[in-house]
Amino acid sequence: MPPRVGFLGLGIMGSAMANNILKAGFPLHVYNRTASKAGGLLTAGATLTPHPLALAQDAEVIIAMVTGPEALDELIWGEQGAAGAFSAEKTFINMSSVPPRYTRELAAELAPLGIAFIDAPVSGTKKPAEDGKLLILAGGDQEKIAALEPLFAAMGQKVIYCGEVGQGSVMKMTINLLLGVMMAGLAETINFGQKNGLEPETILEVILSGSLSSGLFQMKAEMVRDMAFPPNFPLKHMTKDLKFIIDTAYESGAPTPAAHAVLQLFRYGVAFQWGDEDFAAVLKILKHLNGRT
Ligand code: NAP
């Protein structure tokens, strides 16, 4: 019998991941702060729970995919939080992107409850989430992670074991450092060339035809061409992750000069009220700053 799964958080990523869990045949209970977002999943056969505690009472494996530490704390420790039903028979998997330090502290706080805790953030955005093609960056007990393989396989193409609990979050921040810097680099390049008289399409053609091309640049080319940024990975979430990266860099002593510069840029985007757009809107930020800096 597949375990009963409870899924907390039905945003861009969570709704797609939960849908794939359901399609793979796991009995699924869901909770979202804004209950209306569960509509499609309920039609597909999921059960809506009124609060995280009820979800954790019903489920054997509880998954969270929410914005960050504040949201997680609310769902776990808040009034009618999931922790009220955590026990040694259950497993909790956090797939949200959070700082490694937070993950380690959460592991220590959960330990007295006996519940197995897996740190499993993901690499990949809306489309890979919909297609069940995420990369799952797992930290924690390796045997437990192996036993969860059928559940992870419903959401991802591959589970990459990163080490003890917290190392999944380290890997996630490591990868998002590259993601943020690459996206800001593409935007700066396009804006620079365009400001100096080149056509964006011609710049894109040169980038995508040669060794500078990448899956990321190919994926974002359409947004750059159209100057329209419907959210796959919201800019406010990239900003949050860059802050986590810099905090982690201070703790570890790793120099991150590019991350500091890129964080400032993304913060302008949030200040300009573009936080809900895709993080490729960093190009819009640079265009807005043209002639002002
Ligand atoms: P999203 O669409 O903004 O969804 C955020 C989710 O968190 C929603 O379910 C939201 O509930 C919930 N939430 C926020 N604050 C809360 C609170 N205080 N209490 C309870 N629930 C709260 O974000 P997403 O893109 O799905 O991202 C989810 C996580 O995955 C983030 O950690 C993000 O960094 C990470 N991630 C995203 C991508 C991507 O491409 N989008 C890729 C990899 C990883 P409501 O619906 O009620 O607001």
pLDDT, tens only, 52-82: 999 999 999 999 999 999 999 999 999 999 9
What CATH number did the domain enclosing 104 receive? 3.40.50.720
Q: Is the CB of 20 under 6 A from ligand 1?
A: no
Span 206-213, mean pLDDT? 98
Atom of ligand 1 nearest to the CA of 9: 9
Residue ID of nearest Cα to ligand 1 atom 9? 9
* Residue 172 annotated as catalytic: yes
Q: Is the CB of 66 under 6 A from ligand 1?
A: yes
Asked if residue 112 and residue 201 are part of one domain, the reply reads: no
Q: Is the CB of 67 under 6 A from ligand 1?
A: yes
Asked if residues 129 and 154 have their Cβ atoms less than 8 Å apart, the reply is no
- Predicted confidence band at 106 (pLDDT cuts at 50, 70, 90)? very high
What is the Å distance from ligand 1's center to 191 Cα? 30
Element (H, E) at 278: none
Asked if residue 283 and residue 145 are part of one domain, the reply reads: no
Burial of 250 (0-12, 13-18, 19+ CB in 10 A): exposed
Q: How many residues does the chain have?
A: 293
Asked if residue 145 and residue 30 are part of one domain, the reply reads: yes
In this predicted structure, what is the pLDDT of residue 244? 98
Asked if residue 92 and residue 114 are part of one domain, the reply reads: yes
Last residue of a domain, one of 107, 141, 164: 164
In this predicted structure, what is the pLDDT of residue 293? 76
Q: Is the CB of 11 under 6 A from ligand 1?
A: yes
Burial of 155 (0-12, 13-18, 19+ CB in 10 A): buried
In this predicted structure, what is the pLDDT of residue 233? 97
pLDDT, tens only, 122-161: 999 999 999 999 999 999 999 999 999 999 999 999 999 9
Q: Is the pLDDT of residue 225 over 90?
A: yes
Asked if residue 151 and residue 11 are part of one domain, the reply reads: yes
What's the mean per-residue pLDDT of the chain?
98
Q: Is the CB of 169 under 6 A from ligand 1?
A: no
Asked if residue 190 and residue 154 are part of one domain, the reply reads: no
What is the Å distance from ligand 1's center to 66 Cα? 4
In this predicted structure, what is the pLDDT of residue 153? 98
Asked if residue 175 and residue 160 are part of one domain, the reply reads: no
Q: Is the pLDDT of residue 110 over 80?
A: yes
**Percent of the chain surpassing pLDDT 70:** 100
Q: Is the CB of 80 under 6 A from ligand 1?
A: no
Q: Is the pLDDT of residue 176 over 90?
A: yes
In this predicted structure, what is the pLDDT of residue 183? 98
The pTM (predicted TM-score) of the whole model is 0.97
Q: Is the CB of 135 under 6 A from ligand 1?
A: no
Q: Is the CB of 74 under 6 A from ligand 1?
A: yes
What is the Å distance from ligand 1's center to 67 Cα? 4
The contacts found for 216-220 with CB under 8 angstroms, 24 or more apart, are 216/179, 216/182, 216/183, 216/186, 217/182, 217/186, 219/125, 220/183, 220/186, 220/280
Q: Could you give the C-alpha distances from 113 to 15, 82, 83, 116, 124, in angstroms and in order?
A: 28, 12, 8, 9, 32
Asked if residue 227 and residue 205 are part of one domain, the reply reads: yes
State the sign of the Cα–Cα–Cα–Cα dihedral 78, 84, 85, 91. Answer: positive
Residue ID of nearest Cα to ligand 1 atom 3? 11
Asked if residue 156 and residue 86 are part of one domain, the reply reads: yes
- Predicted confidence band at 121 (pLDDT cuts at 50, 70, 90)? very high
Residue ID of nearest Cα to ligand 1 atom 6? 66
Asked if residue 140 and residue 107 are part of one domain, the reply reads: yes
Choice among 23, 37, 133, 172 that is catalytic: 172
Last residue of a domain, one of 164, 196, 220: 164
Q: Is the pLDDT of residue 93 over 80?
A: yes
Last residue of a domain, one of 132, 164, 196: 164
Say how many domains are in the chain: 2
Asked if residue 101 and residue 213 are part of one domain, the reply reads: no
Residue ID of nearest Cα to ligand 1 atom 18? 71
Domain of 217, in residue numbers = 171-289
In this predicted structure, what is the pLDDT of residue 1? 87
Q: Indicate the top mutation candidate among 36, 223, 237 to test ligand 1's pocket, ranked by most ligand atoms within 8 A of CB.
A: 237
pLDDT, tens only, 268-279: 999 999 999 999
Asked if residue 158 and residue 188 are part of one domain, the reply reads: no
In this predicted structure, what is the pLDDT of residue 292? 85
